[in-house]
């Protein structure tokens, strides 16, 4: 299938990519490796040409899964992964030092079974290391042929400009959906000015805008159990708003996920959402959003229902928020 495309640095990719995290951790028990492999191959068959992973996902298992399942189809997709966040001594750790970046990258190449990653992101900002030093390590990796382009994730406009002054940044990854509007504070304008793609992760708000959440009866190990906006009593308020969102989608002949993805795509021409899923049917459902642009009145209806800050509760736990550099919304709630 030939899908609409968008520019991602030097690459041209499907207007909707696939985030890999769901296949290895975060939302309860992940699918088996066999099922995950089948889903990745189905995604390529359908026309997805951007696969996004990270060293952190499943403590390296997501990179291994991609390596085993689809690396034989390497010419069919743009591969993105991330460093700085990694497993350190068996625990999630943050280390933006050049030495740590080099170690994580070499480990990623081994796990993926390749000698080159197309787009390599700093997953988070390590405030103990000047971003210029971290970018310098990625520049050296690019010069060595190990990576093709450099990206940042959850970084502020100020940090983006500092990094871009060292080496052109191809992409900035941030959480962005009708329910999470932080990039609108400054990041979107910085990306537009500097010619950087915005890769929107969690574009269906971790399932909230995909008809997947009605209460907080999450499975063991689901990260939403600790996120204030995803648990009662705040979730009760949020689900009431989502019911209205769902009604807008039904009236438009869309699924809630398609409405959310269509809204994201309508914001700027350089935005590429990367919804994750472990459900093969959702792969097909999500792609339809790229093929059917939202009418302006539908985008406006979503904006009226979900202005910035409409949901109650912090989007991250306090420890996770401490690693976020992206600007806060005015009066944004923190855990």
188 token code pair: 């979107």
At 145-181, the pLDDT tens digits run: 999 999 999 999 999 999 999 999 999 999 999 999 9
Domain positions in the chain are 5-321
270 token code pair: 């350089």
* Residues labelled catalytic: 57
Q: Taking the C-alpha atoms of 209, 211, 216 and 217 in order, what is their torsion angle to the nearest 10 degrees?
A: -150
* Stated pTM of the model: 0.97
Residue 1 has pLDDT above 80, yes or no: no
CATH of domain 5-321: 3.20.20.100
At 245-277, the pLDDT tens digits run: 999 999 999 999 999 999 999 999 999 999 999
Q: Residue 209 phi/psi, 5° resolution?
A: -100, 25
Contact 68, 38 (CB under 8 A): no
């Amino acid at each position: 299938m030939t899908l609409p495309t968008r520019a991602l640095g030097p690459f041209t990719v499907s207007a909707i990519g696939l985030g890999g995290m769901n296949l290895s951790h975060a939302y309860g028990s992940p699918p088996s490796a066999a099922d995950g492999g089948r889903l990745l191959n189905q995604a390529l068959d359908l026309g997805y040409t951007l696969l996004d992973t990270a060293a952190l996902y499943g403590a390296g298992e997501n990179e291994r899964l991609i390596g085993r399942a689809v690396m034989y189809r390497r010419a069919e997709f743009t591969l993105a992964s991330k460093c700085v966040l990694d497993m350190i001594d068996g625990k999630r750790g943050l280390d933006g030092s050049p030495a740590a970046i080099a170690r994580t990258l070499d480990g990623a190449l081994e796990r993926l079974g390749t000698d080159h990653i197309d787009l390599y992101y700093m997953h988070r900002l390590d405030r103990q290391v000047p971003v210029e030093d971290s970018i310098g390590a990625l520049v050296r990796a690019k010069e060595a042929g190990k990576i093709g382009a450099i990206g940042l994730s959850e970084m502020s406009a100020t940090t983006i400009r500092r990094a871009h002054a060292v080496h052109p940044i191809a992409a900035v990854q941030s959480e962005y959906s009708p329910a999470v509007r932080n990039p609108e504070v400054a990041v979107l304008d910085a990306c537009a000015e500097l010619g950087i793609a915005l890769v929107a992760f969690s574009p269906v708000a971790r399932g909230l805008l995909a008809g997947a959440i009605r209460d907080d009866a999450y499975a063991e190990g689901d990260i939403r159990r600790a996120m204030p906006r995803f648990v009662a009593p705040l979730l009760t308020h949020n689900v009431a708003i989502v019911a209205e969102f769902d009604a807008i989608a039904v009236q438009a002949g869309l699924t809630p996920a398609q409405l959310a993805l269509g809204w994201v795509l309508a914001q700027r021409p350089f935005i590429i959402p990367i919804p994750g899923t472990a459900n093969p049917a959702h792969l097909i459902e999500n792609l339809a959003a790229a093929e059917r642009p939202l009418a302006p009145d539908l985008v406006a209806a979503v904006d009226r229902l979900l202005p910035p800050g409409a949901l109650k509760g912090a989007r991250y736990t306090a420890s996770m928020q401490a690693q976020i550099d992206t600007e806060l919304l005015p009066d944004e709630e923190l855990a």
